[in-house]
Amino acid sequence: MKPKLLSGDRITGKLHLGHYAGSLKKRVELQHSYDCYVLLADVQALTTHYENPEIVSENLRNVAMDYLACGIDPSLSTLFIQSMIPEIAELTVYFSMFVTVNSLRHNPTIKSEAAERGYKQMYYGFLGYPVSQAADIAICKAELIPVGEDQLPHIEQTRKIIRRFHQLYAPIFPEPQALISETPRLMGLDGNSKMSKGLNNAILLDSTRDEVNDNIQRAKTDPARIQKHDPGHPEICTVFSYYQAFSPELTNEIYSSCTQGKIGCKDCKKTIANQINVLLEPMRERRDIYSRNAKQVDEILIAGTEHARTTAKETMQEVRDAMKINYF
């Protein structure tokens, strides 16, 4: 039996290059060596989108298409929908008995997301989403979690919850490890924050060639560089960080041309836009095939969710046995 891998995304919008570099690429690479579960996190999306649930339903199939387009193979990976696995909600409740409110309040990702969203007070569901994430991981008995850097506090929280469960009841879960990619945090086009669905600073995976070219044109570069021959500072340039993420073989050349003022930002942007288009081209081809067959995408989600539900039921039997709440 292969070890299990779980990864997932909130269904709050289409996926972008940050998801690809931070997590999706690893999921695709590891499909043969792990039993992979891919979670379409619609419940977790509601922690910030409960007033607009239509955004979640409108994006469910978009995200599924993004997965299939970037090479997640449904014969190797189980794609499943969070809200259709009630056992996750059940396990969240059990875990919540021994997670302190303070540990959630002090979680640095919760703090920064709450600040970014201007939350003056925190709702219970939002504050508690790391507990529900721990349940996602535990229900699948996942050992490896490919994530971006912002998720590290949540994986640590999960490990603590699992250790506490083991102390209190019985050792039934593996202790999961985060897997951080070579690009733990891809910057957004604005150069201010991580590329994110909500910040209008993303290059979406379903972008056309022209959309990629246009978006790269607006990417923030070294502000001190006015003329083409001014020496640049690649270490503070968003476009250079895209070379590091998507074209590492060109970074040395670009670094020296930029610092010596031999290449202008315009040409530098043109080259990386091309490289990104090379990366996206096979995704466009796969997306084309699946978009002509919407029914097949639904069937993949239904079959994956059924499979995940079987796994979840088995785990919950063990949880109830461990907690001595299996009565009949």
The phi, psi pair for 188, rounded to 5°, reads -80, 170
Shortest distance, position 300 Cβ to ligand ATP, whole Å: 20
What's the CA gap between 11 and 61, in Å, rounded?
Answer: 9
Q: Which is closer to ligand ATP, CB of 153 or CB of 264?
A: 153
Residue whose tokens read 């998507």 = 246
**By CB under 6 A, is residue 198 in contact with ligand ATP?**
yes
CB 265 within 8 Å of CB 225:
yes
What's the CA gap between 112 and 110, in Å, rounded?
Answer: 6
**By CB under 6 A, is residue 153 in contact with ligand ATP?**
no
Report which DSSP code applies to 24. I
Read off the tokens for 218.
Answer: 């607006």
Residue among 165, 178, 113, 147 nearest 39 (CA): 147
CB 74 within 8 Å of CB 293:
no
- The residue from 25, 26, 141, 197 that contacts ligand ATP (CB under 6 A) is 197
What's the CA gap between 235 and 28, in Å, rounded?
Answer: 29
Q: Which is closer to ligand ATP, CB of 162 or CB of 245?
A: 245
**By CB under 6 A, is residue 151 in contact with ligand ATP?**
yes
**By CB under 6 A, is residue 194 in contact with ligand ATP?**
yes
Q: Choose one: 4-12, 131-139, 267-275, 300-308; the region binding ligand ATP (CB under 6 A).
A: 4-12
Shortest distance, position 143 Cβ to ligand ATP, whole Å: 16
Q: Interaction with ligand ATP in 164-193: which residues (CB under 6 A)? A: 185-186
What's the CA gap between 55 and 271, in Å, rounded?
Answer: 35
The phi, psi pair for 43, rounded to 5°, reads -65, -45
Burial class (CB in 10 A: 0-12, 13-18, 19+), 225: middle
**By CB under 6 A, is residue 248 in contact with ligand ATP?**
no
Q: Which is closer to ligand ATP, CB of 62 or CB of 257?
A: 62
Shortest distance, position 38 Cβ to ligand ATP, whole Å: 11
Shortest distance, position 50 Cβ to ligand ATP, whole Å: 13
**By CB under 6 A, is residue 195 in contact with ligand ATP?**
yes
**By CB under 6 A, is residue 220 in contact with ligand ATP?**
no
**By CB under 6 A, is residue 128 in contact with ligand ATP?**
no
Q: Interaction with ligand ATP in 28-57: which residues (CB under 6 A)? A: none
**By CB under 6 A, is residue 108 in contact with ligand ATP?**
no
Q: Cα–chain-centroid distance for residue 203?
A: 15
Pairing of strands 77-81, 177-180: unpaired
Q: Please give the residue whose beta carbon sits closest to ligand ATP in the complex.
A: 22
- The residue from 14, 61, 111, 150 that contacts ligand ATP (CB under 6 A) is 150
- Contacts with ligand ATP by CB under 6 A lie at 9-10, 12, 18-19, 21-23, 147-148, 150-151, 185-186, 194-198
